A and B are shown apart, each in its own frame.
Chain A
Amino acid sequence: MHPYNYYAPENINDALGLLEKFGSKARCLAGGTDILVQTRGGRFELDAIIDVKNIPELTKVEWTKDHLLVGSAVPCYVLYEDEKVTSQFPGIIDAASLIGGIQIQSRASLGGNLCNASPSADGICPLIVHNTICVIAGPKGSREISVDQFCVSPGKNVLDEGEFLVSLKIPLPNSGFGAAYERFIPRNEMDIAVAAVGSSVVVDGGKITNSKIALAAVGPTPIYAEKASEFLLGKDVSEDNLDQASQIAQDSCSPITDMRGDVEFRKHLIGVLTRRTLDLALERAGGN
């Protein structure tokens, strides 16, 4: 591992100062389960690592009137050991409880998962289908963007130099809302998704009034499947409609062939997982 200095700022302004000072030679450290592996592997040459876990906004889980605010560095276990979060956001917990093993979950955060911007990241689809807003701090003040705009290409996110992610602002579920996330891996635990789908629905009187479907490991970033999602708007909850949406999701993705799976297999998986996650989302919405 190459030498670098370690800083643990205690507030947002100090963190911004350090990011300004070191520019591209600095990186944030949340749980370290991506960054320490990558730094050791020589992916970057750093002068400074900035541990963000002493900044209160980044490590707290807070309920506001309309949102659940999850600090970007909150480790997965904090979410799945919180009964209120688990009962209100089972679709987020689906992902938080399957990232790595228990050791990894002690450290890995959804914010780190998102910033790392891997095409197969498990945390991102659930955030997309929950209409999550990313709260970003930067030298020119803070800004907010929708999570589906956050990842730009494998390993690259929308943050400008000097900016960092503060928290994830997840709207509280309205009545009739349900969400779910599922991935396919060849083993039971500790593997990278071959394909994965997150789905959410809002059901009112037997009709789907809103839906979001997001796909991972079948494109350069996890993506919002717009066509499949919009197909369901205003439709009755029926086998046929759910199957059609799954088929549209399958047809609209453009995966690659690699050692984990080929194009045809991945597309097939997307169809199956879309249907399964829609079923579970509907069940959780109480619409089934």
Chain B
Amino acid sequence: MANSKKVKKIQITTTINGQEMELLIPPYISLLETLREIVGITGTKEGCNDGNCGACTVTIDRRIVDSCLVLGAEIDGKNVETIEGMATPEGLHPLQQAFLEEAALQCGICTPGFLVASKNLLDKEPNPSEGRIRHWLAGNLCRCTGYDKIVKAVQKASENS
């Protein structure tokens, strides 16, 4: 079956963390696989691979998506931001700093997804309420922290920025 089919790789032009690139990818792989296996940036994590956990959260044209539920082919001409685009040579992003200070992580697998999602919220709404933060992050699961410390860290970062 699979082998008898002619599946051609496709070429896409995309911008990832501000860098324009041309990629040659199998047409059926996800954006998550494209980032990790083709581009070679592995900060974006796979938890469930079916849209439930948010560990694979990235932004496309400034909106958060689960990269496991996007095809790599779909980012042609689009602007993608991942966790690798968050810190600068000068230092950590205020959210990253706040996550460290508030101990908002344990195993860390969910952290890139939470950071990308939280940054997107604060970029749009600098001072969200606790309820708004919890609602915004409902698509991100964490098995370790119990969420309170994550919410606190986002509140702290929003106060500091």
Q: A101-B139, A107-B65 are in contact. Are A6 and B73 (CB under 8 A)?
A: yes
Partner of B10, one of A3, A6, A100, A102: A6
Q: Which of B50-58, B81-89, B92-100, B103-111 contacts A (4 or more CB under 8 A)?
A: B50-58
Q: Which of A44-52, A163-171, A175-183 contacts B (4 or more CB under 8 A)?
A: A44-52
* Nearest chain A CB to B57 CB, angstrom units: 6
Q: Chain B residues with Cβ under 8 A from A107's Cβ?
A: 65, 69-70
5 contacts between A and B (CB under 8 A): A5-B28, A32-B71, A51-B71, A101-B139, A103-B139
- Bound Cα distance from A32 to B71, whole angstroms: 8
B contact residues vs A (CB 8 Å cutoff): 1-2, 5-8, 10, 26-30, 49-52, 54, 57, 60, 63-66, 68-71, 73-74, 76, 117, 135-136, 138-140
Q: Chain B residues with Cβ under 8 A from A45's Cβ?
A: 1
- Bound Cα distance from A100 to B8, whole angstroms: 33
Q: Does A29 reach chain B (CB closer than 8 Å)?
A: yes
Contact between B28 and A6 (Cβ–Cβ < 8 Å)?
yes
**Chain A, 154-201, CB within 8 A of any chain B CB:** 188-190
Contact between A4 and B63 (Cβ–Cβ < 8 Å)?
no
* Nearest chain A CB to B19 CB, angstrom units: 22
Q: A2-B1, A6-B71 are in contact. Are A104 and B139 (CB under 8 A)?
A: yes
Q: Chain B residues with Cβ under 8 A from A29's Cβ?
A: 71
Q: Chain A residues with Cβ under 8 A from B5's Cβ?
A: 3-4, 47
Contact between A103 and B51 (Cβ–Cβ < 8 Å)?
yes
| A36, A100, A102, A189: most-surrounded residue (chain B CB, <10 A) | A102
In the complex, the chain A residue whose C-beta lies closest to that of B73 is: A6
* Nearest chain A CB to B148 CB, angstrom units: 16
Q: Does A231 reach chain B (CB closer than 8 Å)?
A: no
Q: Chain A residues with Cβ under 8 A from B2's Cβ?
A: 2-3
Given contacts A8-B76, A36-B69, 5 further A-B contacts (CB under 8 A): A6-B27, A6-B71, A36-B71, A102-B64, A102-B136
Q: Does A259 reach chain B (CB closer than 8 Å)?
A: no
Q: Chain B residues with Cβ under 8 A from A190's Cβ?
A: 52, 138-139
| A40, A100, A103, A106: most-surrounded residue (chain B CB, <10 A) | A103
Contact between A3 and B28 (Cβ–Cβ < 8 Å)?
yes
In the complex, the chain B residue whose C-beta lies closest to that of A3 is: B7
- Bound Cα distance from A37 to B53, whole angstroms: 13
Partner of A103, one of B30, B49, B57: B57
Contact between A1 and B138 (Cβ–Cβ < 8 Å)?
no
Contact between A4 and B7 (Cβ–Cβ < 8 Å)?
yes
- Bound Cα distance from A188 to B138, whole angstroms: 9
In the complex, the chain B residue whose C-beta lies closest to that of A187 is: B138
- Bound Cα distance from A104 to B53, whole angstroms: 11
Q: A6-B27, A36-B30, A188-B138 are in contact. Are A103 and B54 (CB under 8 A)?
A: yes
Partner of B51, one of A1, A8, A37, A102: A37
* Nearest chain B CB to A249 CB, angstrom units: 29
Contact between B28 and A104 (Cβ–Cβ < 8 Å)?
no
Q: Chain B residues with Cβ under 8 A from A8's Cβ?
A: 73, 76
Partner of A4, one of B27, B68, B74: B27
**Chain A, 1-60, CB within 8 A of any chain B CB:** 1-6, 8, 29, 31-33, 36-37, 40-41, 45, 47, 49, 51, 53
Q: Chain A residues with Cβ under 8 A from B65's Cβ?
A: 103, 106-107
- Bound Cα distance from A104 to B76, whole angstroms: 20
Contact between A40 and B66 (Cβ–Cβ < 8 Å)?
no
Partner of B27, one of A5, A31, A100, A188: A5
